[in-house]
Amino acid sequence: MAKIAFELLTLENEVLRAYLFWSAILVLKMLFMSLLTGLMRFRTQTFANPEDLLDKRLKVKFDNSDVERVRRAHRNDLENILPFFAIGFLYVLIDPAPGLAINLFRAVGIARIIHTIVYAVVVMPQPSRALAFFVALGATVYMAVQVLLAAL
């Protein structure tokens, strides 16, 4: 018989601990993206608001390719990590095999970190970004399908 929910939602559950760990890593990663955007704005003197201009001789700019690359990477995180948070938690509740679940969480976390590195930090040619994207997407879709099947 399947474990009941409150047994799964304890720190004694290694799957929940892994989910919490990788979720916290990904939250820190997304917060880092905000800092990276700010750093890139200062480095390139590209500010989107007049009150942010440090030197009043500067003009508001919206089109710096380096700033926009970091912003796109951050948006990609929001589009992919937030669904992981939801489906990962639901996946914990279906009491998956610990080894598989922990490796799925690990795959999403590492792939999203690599995605950011090759997209916004040390730009590398494709397929590096696509591979990182599809590893995380594949793991998240797998978990979603398993949750759907468990709910039938």
**Going residue by residue through the chain (152 aa), what tens digit of pLDDT does each one get?**
456 777 887 888 999 999 999 999 999 999 999 999 989 988 988 887 878 777 777 778 778 889 999 999 999 999 999 999 999 999 999 999 999 999 999 999 999 999 999 999 999 999 999 999 999 999 999 999 999 999 99
Instruction: Map out the domains of the chain as residue ranges.
Output: 5-151
- Evaluate if pTM is beyond 0.85: yes
User: Is residue 143 within 8 Å of 87, Cβ to Cβ?
Assistant: yes
Alpha helices (runs of H) in the chain, residue ranges in sequence order: 5-8, 14-44, 65-93, 98-116, 128-151
* Neighbour-count burial for 71-100, b at 16+ CB within 10 Å, e otherwise: bebbebbeebbeebeebbbebbbbbbeeee
5-151: CATH topology is Four Helix Bundle (Hemerythrin (Met), subunit A) (1.20.120)
| Cis geometry, peptide bond prior to residue 96 (ω within 30 degrees of 0) | no
Return the ∠ at Cα 23 (arms to 96 and 137), rounded to 5°. 70
